[in-house]
Structures are given as C-alpha cells and as structure tokens.
Amino acid sequence: MTDKYIIAIDGGTQSTKVAIFDVLGTEVCSHTVQLREIELSENGRAEHPDDDLWDSLKTACQEMFKKFHGDKNNIIGVGLGSIRCCRALIKADGNLASPVQSWMDLRLSRPYEHDNDEVIYVTTTTGYLTHRLTGETKDTRSNYVGPWPIDPITLDWFEDKEKFDAYTTPREMLFDLVDPAVVMGTINDFASDATGIPVGIPVVSTANDKAVEGLGAGLVNDGTVLVSLGTYITSMMVGEENNLNSVNFWSNPGATKGEFLYESSGIRRGMATVTWIKDLLGSDIVNAAKDQGISPEAYLNILASDVPVGCDGLYTVLNWLARPNQLHERGMMIGFNGTHKGPHMFRSVLEGIAFTMKNHAQAMCDERGIELSSIVVSGGGSNGELFMQIFADVFGVPAHRNVVNGSASMGAAICAALALGVYTDRQEAIDHMIRRKDTFIPIEKNVELYRKINEQVYQHITAHTDELLKKSYEIFG
C-alpha cells in the first residue's frame, strides 16, 4: 500500500494548490496557481473573476502531473478541499451563472436572493468543484458555515418547513449533504480531460477549509492551538462538543464525523497585509532580495530581525478589512517616530498579528477552561523564522512547525485516506502521516516585554480610536 498515492486539493482565497501524497504523508510533488485579484465593488460585492477557481484547479493539476514521475494507476483517490463561506451559483450545464461570491462579499451575510432564472443550483465552492469533477450534486455538510438552511445540531437541511423557508432557497436548488471523509463520486470524462486525473478515481469530501487545516496540522484536544496564517488568520482547537452558546469562539463542523473545530475571532485580509507592506516598501526590497537569491519576504525577515522587540513603540492594528457589522473599522499604524524605517513597519505587522491572535486564542481557551499549552503555526508565513519566534514569545508557549506546513492539503489527503480505508480512524492517520519539523522555544525576556506591551498598550488601542473612526466613517463611508 505504500506505493499508493492521494491527490489533495487545497483551494484558498489567493491560490489553488494541488499536491500528491503517498499514504505515509510524504508530499511527492505539488503545484500552486495564484488566483486572480478578487474583484471588489463599491456595493460590497467581492467576486472571484470569471471561473477562476476551476481554471486554476485545471492548471494546477496539469502542471503538477508534469512533476509526477510515479504511475497514475497507483492514485487511489482525490481529497477535495476549498474555501468556506463562499457561494457558487450553477446553471443546468454545470457552468457558473455568475462569478463565485467570495467570503468577503456582503451578500454572504444574508441568505441567497434569487434574481437570475439561469441559476439551477446554489452551493459552496466544494459543491461546485465536486459537480465539475464528478457530475454529482453532493457536498460535504461541513462546509456550510453562514446563512444556509442547515440545522446546527443535525448538520442536515432543516426539516422544519418554517425554518427552512426563512432562508429563501428551494430544496431542489441545494445539494445532498454527506459527512466528511466520504466518497462522493468518481472523476468523469470531462474532468479527466481538463485536469489529467484518471477517469474513475474516487473524489472524497472534506470540510470547510479551516477544519481541514486543523486535521492536517494534527490538532488534538490537549490545549494545543493552531494559528492559521492565511488571507483570513484565525486560531483553532478541536473537541467533540457542539458549543452553540459560546462567546469568544464558535463551533464549526470538523473534518471527521463527530469532530468539531473551535475557532476564535480572526484577522480579515491578514497575510494580505504582509503582502501589502512588502509592496509598499517597493522595488528596492525586491531587487535586494533578488541579488541575494531569496524571496522579498525572506529578505524583510532578515532586516526585521535587527529591529528591537516591540519596534520601539510602533503598533499595527490589523483591521484592513472591516467586519460587516463594524464598517467603521480601519487598519492603522500608530506610534511612529523619526527612527522608524521600513523594517520596523514590517516587524510591527508581524507583531500585530501575533498580539491579536494571542488575545483571541486566550479568550477561547479561558472560556473553554483549558490551559493553552502550545501552538502549531501553519501557512506560508510560518516559513519565516522571525515570525515563528515572535509567535513563541508573544504566546509564551512553544511554537511548532510541521514538515508539511500547508496543513489544508495534508488534511484533504487524510480525509481521502480515511474514506478509502487506508487508516481506521483520525488518530491513526495523524500518527502515520504528520511529522513535526521544528519547535521555537519562548525567550523569557521577550515574553515579559511582549506581555507588558500587550496588557498595558496593545489591548487598549481600539478602545481609544473607535470613536474617531466612527466619525470618519460618517464622512467617508
């Protein structure tokens, strides 16, 4: 069985990654395609242009197979993961009736409103891609987060007609729901021609992308928190209880049956802020990095390592994208003086992310009555050793990285392995497929300084700026 392979699809907000794993969790090859810029409109719409999710998946598969030197006949399944909190509207022929609505789209804060008679199905990104790959109208029940007519207890469509009808979407427009780690169908001729995946390969359900990432990071219910560094940054834990009345976190369906993912508040456009600051600092950074044969982010990490802890009082508030119910919010840097330069700004963004997520994660742990014991950091940002050390110091606990730090692709592979009987349960799959790369130990003097900054300054910034930003919003909207 060790010569068998699993294709893992990891669809994100900024990119689509497709990887091939062996059944012991080794990434054999992969390819990532950057998505086109989300089209933002003044009316609050945010859409993935044209058919970008499917087009990027096709390209990622085709390019990945150019790197694959194994036997395609040994591919046993496809684990399909994609972005949550999005909406896809599908025509009778399987094509999109309109571009996929991003999780940033204000329409996702309310139920679907039918205004286009071409729309036959209303589904999620995983539902849409499942339909493309297999022709089936099935979707994981674990990717329905937000305004859908789904019972939060049974995780099935509401049986109560009054509750169901309140969501305004006819049942015939919705897909059938299945558990995560279940075979939904097999690759059809259309999808095989488009992607190069052999006809007949089983396609396996996963969950919402954060739950898949939690599984792929190897989260267990022992006080470990996963910090997910994506376009949306959040912190997560796992358990078996569906907590419907929590205050500082909410429960998502997990990536295996009976599992729930607990998720704190997060940072919208989180790692996009890191990209923004890199772009803001301009071509000098890009050119200097190129001269050294490293990425601009890696070069900025080197420069920012020489900046003192706390950036000499420069703080970044990460509200680059306001929440729908707090439209006055704005991102800000506060505390500039004449000594601050580009590396200070870059490090301040990293510290701001760590402070924000420490506070959110701690609130979640306190409400759950669990001591925060360690963190796992996933996503491309975890490649920076400075960022990892900042996390360890701000959180005051060991910060781990896994060998495969793109945890969502690993989680998709694990779902496929479970569905196909490679492993009997979640823990067995984790034990065989996930390996830790390294651990960053907190530096005590940094821990104490960050604690003082956070408790005395950082936690209080927005309390002092919100009223001014509300007045500014009245002027500029």
The domains spanning 5-205 and 218-477 adopt the same CATH topology: yes
Residue 81's Cβ-side half-sphere holds a number of Cα atoms within 13 Å equal to 37
As a whole number of angstroms, the distance between CA 452 and CA 345 comes to: 20
Q: Which among 141, 136, 154 has a CA at the least distance from the CA of 78? A: 136
What is the C-alpha to C-alpha distance for residues 104 and 85, in angstroms, rounded to an integer?
A: 9
Q: Name the architecture of domain 218-477.
A: 2-Layer Sandwich (3.30)
> Residue 422 class from Cβ within 10 Å (0-12 exposed, 13-18 middle, 19+ buried)?
buried
Please tell me the class of the 5-205 domain: alpha beta
468 phi/psi in degrees, rounded to 5: -65, -40
* DSSP state letter for 233: B
Return per-residue pLDDT of the chain as tens, 477 residues. Answer: 668 999 999 999 889 999 999 999 999 999 999 999 999 998 899 999 999 999 999 999 999 999 999 999 999 999 999 999 999 999 999 999 999 999 999 999 999 999 999 999 999 999 999 999 999 999 999 999 889 999 999 999 999 999 999 998 999 999 999 999 999 999 999 999 999 999 999 999 999 999 999 999 999 999 999 999 988 899 999 999 999 999 999 999 999 999 999 999 999 988 888 888 888 888 888 899 899 999 888 899 899 999 999 999 999 999 998 888 899 999 999 999 999 999 999 999 999 999 999 999 999 999 999 999 999 999 888 999 999 999 999 999 999 999 998 899 999 999 999 999 999 999 999 999 999 999 999 999 999 999 999 999 999 999 999 999 999 999 998
- Tokens for 475? 């002027």
Compute the distance between CA of residue 155 and CA of residue 476 in angstroms, rounded to an integer.
41
Q: Where are the domains of the chain?
A: 5-205, 218-477
pTM of the model: 0.88
CA distance 1 to 115: 50
